[in-house]
């Protein structure tokens, strides 16, 4: 299938590798061992929905100098050969006795001297996508080389998006924006919410999403109580506010923003709360700057809500975005991560209405030298009404 | 949102817990610590697409006697309270300094004596969905209680499906079967394959899928070379064989089967190969029995292909299915897992055609006391042609 091209030219990946290796070098790491779909796609361009199967581990060894080595199940060889990666070693997985352990260990030993420190992402917002017992087996086989925490280099590299990445995220945002514009086609009063969820996903696909990895939302009188449940079969009715929050994917890059709709006329409280969310976001768009911390974004959004007499909801009020639906940092009062030029972020203020109900608003931005640039087409200031 | 009901009655989960605790008890485990969406949903019924965000860990402690305790981010509290689980402890995640470590450690210590062995799935086809460094922190805090491998009890329990689960998987298979019946609406000669992939996902949603977590496939002259790549923009043309393989989801349960279509008249080799795949599957449907091993399923499928002069492809030829797109065991020559009554499995023979091209066929079954029962409506014996 040579007709399928890479999503980016090799130069894009070479530039990423160079930045990643600089981060590794600055922290005294001799290599990184990466196991997740996001980290693998970032370095190699290897994009497949096959990760949905938890059966097989996939490894990428990234030395501090030289090219990455993919150590992968043979089912992935043809696709990996179409990426810019040239060092590919395969085994027939799943193998009940040795599911890549020997091949990965031998690869690490052939690449690195005995004193080597190999970073594995172990920190906040990471996980290891391979059997834990196999990591221990590899650790024993590669000793005295040792595994250490490798979260920092991969997170500090991935969090700064290239212009090519920003254009991909913007393209996915544009798909979602067109789909949100078509919500009145399907979200009429009397439509069951689960039907609306299915129809909206179909609209996203029709507008060009490759797939829809995330759709959440809610609907209820004067707000919603919960934004992570699957859609209920309850029919939309006048007085409801319905919210749809989507993480559609195009070329491996997510959007993550939402839109609210009033089903029939909204109450004054709902209108006022939506206004507060919109203007708190506007304040933050106007004031966010590189050099601030993640907690400053939380403060700007919270203060913007309070200034309009609205109570901020709990939890984080935004986060990173890109290859994953959510990436670090998190806009909480505690996150000290520096906000830097090139970060793609979501602003996601949450406000209480009444009786435990909330409204959530969300936009996607890229942080530039002079401040925030919207990449999701801006929501209307006034809550749109569907009759 | 009390209008959203549980997918199963509490009795279903109580029966699962009892089976799980029996498996734990037989292996000397005092508790299990579960972290993945599939394991959590299996025990609690907690179903959400929010797992798509890697930001937060979610924990479920299952003691060998008594009820499970959910230790989760507060964003999930409302939804967890609607499940049968009554012991719910929450923290505000993500927390950069203590992302549930103290709460989880305290929970474990309050439930279990100092000599306790706590199973964590560490074996084949498992992974740990939490930061590795935090598992180490918890391990230190709960000492002398210790973590050991807990793969066996959860895998041996989950692999035997209840009748309620089988009906869910069958319902998802029926959705996919109706969608496959509508493929000729969208897969006409000249249609770009990526457009077909998007349209087919929309059809799955229209037929009742809650979401489409997996769609793979391929198209090419006389077969396809690769079944894990995203769809290319290449237009379908006469002489192609197109395959679509879907893991749609309804009520948290997957189907996983595929269908092949000839675009215009198929060559004799393609027709013969499809026949061989269909009849090798038929042989296996007729001969698979509880008490066999996973490797016996591989042998039946391979022998069925060879008997018809067709070369089996590499890799596994089927696997478990249910809450995950693929579950253990794997039909390889090496997998010794016993096939037992109540297992839901895929039969997935692969055959080479020419020039490195393959055809893949797949059906879903449940293993009964007297053999295989199909739960995907059987593919036609003759390769269907789309003009």
Residue A6: the pLDDT is 77
CA distance A337 to chain B (A): 10
Separation CA A178–CA A215 (nearest Å): 16
Mean pLDDT in residue range A250-262: 98
Asked whether B71 and B103 are in contact (CB, 8 A), the reply is yes
10 Å CB burial of residue B162 (0-12, 13-18, 19+) is middle
B48 to A197: CB separation less than 8 angstroms, yes or no: no
Q: Using the predicted structure, report yes or no on whether residue B3 has a pLDDT greater than 80.
A: no
CA distance B200 to chain A (A): 10
Residue of chain B whose Cα is closest to the Cα of A94: B330
Mean pLDDT in residue range B304-332: 96
CA distance A49 to chain B (A): 6
Q: Using the predicted structure, report yes or no on whether residue A1 has a pLDDT greater than 60.
A: no
Q: Using the predicted structure, report yes or no on whether residue B137 has a pLDDT greater than 70.
A: yes
The shares of helix, strand and coil residues in chain B, as percent rounded to the nearest 5, are 35, 25, 40
* B146 contacts on A by Cβ (under 8 Å): none
Secondary structure of chain A in the HEC alphabet?
CCCCCCCCCHHHHHHHHHHHHHHHHHCCCCEEEECCHHHHHHHHCCCCHHHHCCCCCCEEEEECCCCCEEEEEHHHHHHHHCCCCCEEEEECCCCCCCCCHHHHHHHHHHHCCCCCEEEECCCCCCCECCCHHHHHHHHHHHCCCEEEECHHHHHHHHCECCHHHHHHHHHHHHHHHHHHHCHHHCCCCCCEHHHHHHHHHHHHHHCCCCEEEEEEEEEEECCECCCCCCCCCCECCCCEEEEEEEEEEECCEECCEEEEEEECCCCHHHHHHHHHHHHHHHHHHHHCCCCCEHHHHHHHHHHHHHCCCCCECCCCCEEECCCCCCEEEECCCCCCCECCCCEEEEECCEEECCCCCEEECCEEEEEECCEEEECCCCCCCCCCEEC
Q: Using the predicted structure, report yes or no on whether residue B333 has a pLDDT greater than 90.
A: yes
CATH architecture for segment(s) B163-386: Alpha-Beta Complex (3.90)
* B218 contacts on A by Cβ (under 8 Å): 1
CB of A253 within 8 Å of a chain B CB? The answer is no
CA distance B154 to chain A (A): 14
Q: In the structure encoding, which two tokens stand for residue A201, read together?
A: 């996903």
Name the band, by pLDDT with cuts 50, 70 and 90, for residue B5: low
DSSP labels, B214-244: EEEEEEEETSBS-SSSPPPSPBP-TTEEEEE
A79 to B52: CB separation less than 8 angstroms, yes or no: no
Separation CA A104–CA A90 (nearest Å): 10
Alpha-carbon separation of residue A94 from B290, B304, B318 (angstroms): 22, 22, 11
* B205 contacts on A by Cβ (under 8 Å): 198-199, 201-202
Asked whether A122 and B130 are in contact (CB, 8 A), the reply is no
Closest CA to A3 of B14, B225, B260, B61: B225
8-state DSSP, B185: G
Q: Using the predicted structure, report yes or no on whether residue A384 has a pLDDT greater than 60.
A: yes
H or E element, residue B87: strand B87-91
Closest CA to B248 of B138, B364, B107: B364
A126 to B132: CB separation less than 8 angstroms, yes or no: yes
Ranges in chain A annotated CATH 3.40.350.10: 10-158
C-alpha A93: how far from its chain's center?
28
CB of B268 within 8 Å of a chain A CB? The answer is no
* Strands B257-263, B385-386: pairing kind: parallel
Q: Which of residues 110-129 of B touch A (CB under 8 A)?
A: 120-129
Closest to B129 (Cβ–Cβ): which among A127, A234, A324? A127
pLDDT 10s digits, A127-142: 999 999 999 999 999 9
CB of A55 within 8 Å of a chain B CB? The answer is yes
Residue B18's contacts (CB-CB under 8 Å, 6 or more residues apart) are none
Separation CA A364–CA A377 (nearest Å): 9
Asked whether A320 and A345 are in contact (CB, 8 A), the reply is yes
Q: Which of residues 167-226 of A touch B (CB under 8 A)?
A: 194, 197-199, 201-202, 205-206, 208-216, 218, 220, 224-226
Mean pLDDT in residue range A172-192: 97
Mean pLDDT in residue range B137-144: 98
Q: Which of residues 63-102 of A touch B (CB under 8 A)?
A: 74-76, 78-79, 82, 92, 94-97, 99
Residue B342: the pLDDT is 98
Give percent of chain A above pLDDT 70: 99
8-state DSSP, B314: S
B212 to A214: CB separation less than 8 angstroms, yes or no: no
Name the band, by pLDDT with cuts 50, 70 and 90, for residue A84: very high
Mean pLDDT in residue range A180-186: 97
Collapse the DSSP code of B71 into the 3-class scheme (helix H, G, I; strand E, B; otherwise coil) and give the result: strand
* A210 contacts on B by Cβ (under 8 Å): 194, 197-198, 230-231
Q: Using the predicted structure, report yes or no on whether residue A110 has a pLDDT greater than 50.
A: yes
* Strands A69-73, A59-63: pairing kind: antiparallel
Q: Where are the alpha helices (DSSP H) in chain B?
A: 10-26, 37-44, 77-81, 101-111, 132-142, 151-158, 163-181, 193-206, 268-287, 294-306
Question: Side-chain half-sphere of B252: how many Cα atoms within 13 Å?
Answer: 21
CB of B53 within 8 Å of a chain A CB? The answer is yes
Asked whether A39 and A121 are in contact (CB, 8 A), the reply is yes
* B198 contacts on A by Cβ (under 8 Å): 205-206, 208-210
Alpha-carbon separation of residue A311 from A269, A272, A276, A304 (angstroms): 12, 12, 10, 10
Mean pLDDT in residue range A355-378: 97
CB of A47 within 8 Å of a chain B CB? The answer is yes
CA distance A336 to chain B (A): 9
Asked whether B248 and B256 are in contact (CB, 8 A), the reply is no
CB of B2 within 8 Å of a chain A CB? The answer is no
pLDDT 10s digits, A269-325: 999 999 999 999 999 999 999 999 999 999 999 999 999 999 998 889 999 999 999
Ranges in chain A annotated CATH 3.90.230.10: 163-386
* B336 contacts on A by Cβ (under 8 Å): 96
Report the alpha-carbon angle A80-A81-A84, nearest 5.
85
Residue of chain A whose Cα is closest to the Cα of B130: A127
Residue of chain B whose Cα is closest to the Cα of A295: B96
At residue B138, φ and ψ (nearest 5 deg) are -60, -45
Residue A192's contacts (CB-CB under 8 Å, 6 or more residues apart) are A232, A233, A234, A235, A236
On average, the pLDDT of chain A sits at: 96
Closest to B225 (Cβ–Cβ): which among A78, A95, A128? A78
Alpha-carbon separation of residue A167 from A84, A315, A344, B88, B221 (angstroms): 21, 29, 11, 42, 34
Mean pLDDT in residue range B286-300: 98
At residue B245, φ and ψ (nearest 5 deg) are -130, 115
* B127 contacts on A by Cβ (under 8 Å): 54, 57, 127-132
CB of A352 within 8 Å of a chain B CB? The answer is no
- The dihedral sign for the CA sequence B278, B280, B281, B285: positive
B212 to A213: CB separation less than 8 angstroms, yes or no: no
8-state DSSP, B293: B
Give percent of chain A above pLDDT 90: 96
Residue A387: the pLDDT is 83
* A125 contacts on B by Cβ (under 8 Å): 54-55, 94, 131
Q: Using the predicted structure, report yes or no on whether residue A2 has a pLDDT greater than 60.
A: no
Residue with tokens 């004031």: A287
Closest CA to B141 of B103, B175, B111: B103
Task: Mutate one of A204, A226, A241 to test the B interface: name it (highest B CB count within 10 A).
Answer: A226
Q: Using the predicted structure, report yes or no on whether residue B73 has a pLDDT greater than 50.
A: yes
Residue of chain A whose Cα is closest to the Cα of B56: A125
B232 to A53: CB separation less than 8 angstroms, yes or no: no
CATH class of B10-158: alpha beta
Name the band, by pLDDT with cuts 50, 70 and 90, for residue B6: confident
pLDDT 10s digits, B191-245: 999 999 999 999 999 999 999 999 999 999 999 998 999 999 999 999 999 999 9
């Amino acid at each position: 299938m040579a007709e399928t091209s890479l999503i980016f030219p090799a130069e894009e990946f070479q530039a990423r590798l160079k930045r990643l290796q600089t981060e590794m070098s600055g922290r005294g790491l001799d290599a990184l061992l990466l196991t997740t779909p996001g980290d693998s796609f970032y370095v190699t361009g290897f994009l497949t929905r096959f990760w949905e199967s938890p059966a097989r581990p996939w490894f990428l060894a990234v030395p501090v100098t030289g090219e990455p080595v993919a150590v992968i199940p043979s089912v992935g060889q043809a696709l990996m050969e179409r990426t810019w990666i040239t060092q590919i070693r395969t085994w027939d997985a799943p193998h009940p006795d040795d599911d890549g352990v020997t091949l990965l260990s031998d690869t690490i030993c052939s690449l690195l001297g005995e004193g080597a420190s190999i970073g594995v992402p172990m920190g906040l917002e990471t996980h290891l996508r391979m059997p834990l017992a196999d990591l221990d087996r590899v650790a024993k086989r590669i000793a005295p080389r040792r595994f250490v925490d490798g979260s920092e280099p991969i997170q500090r590299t991935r969090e700064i998006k290239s212009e090519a990445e920003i254009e991909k995220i913007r393209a996915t945002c544009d798909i979602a924006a067109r789909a949100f514009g078509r919500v009145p086609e399907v979200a009429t009063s009397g439509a069951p919410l689960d039907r609306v969820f299915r129809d909206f996903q179909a609209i996203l696909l029709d507008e060009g999403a490759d797939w829809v990895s995330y759709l959440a939302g809610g609907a209820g009188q004067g707000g919603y109580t919960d934004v992570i449940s699957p859609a209920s079969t309850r029919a939309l009715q006048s007085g409801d506010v319905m919210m749809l929050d989507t993480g559609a994917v195009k070329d491996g890059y997510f959007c993550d923003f939402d839109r609210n709709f009033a089903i029939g006329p909204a109450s004054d409280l709902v209108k006022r709360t939506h206004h507060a969310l919109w203007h708190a976001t506007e304040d933050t768009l106007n004031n966010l700057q590189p050099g601030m911390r993640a907690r400053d974004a939380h403060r700007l959004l919270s203060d913007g809500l309070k200034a309009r007499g609205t109570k901020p909801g709990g939890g984080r009020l935004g986060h990173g975005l890109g290859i994953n639906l959510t990436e670090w940092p998190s806009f909480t009062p505690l996150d000290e991560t520096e906000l830097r030029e090139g970060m793609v972020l979501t602003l996601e203020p949450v406000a209480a209405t009444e009786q435990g109900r909330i409204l959530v608003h969300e936009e996607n931005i890229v942080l530039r030298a002079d401040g925030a640039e919207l990449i999701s087409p801006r929501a209307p200031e006034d809550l749109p009404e569907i009759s």
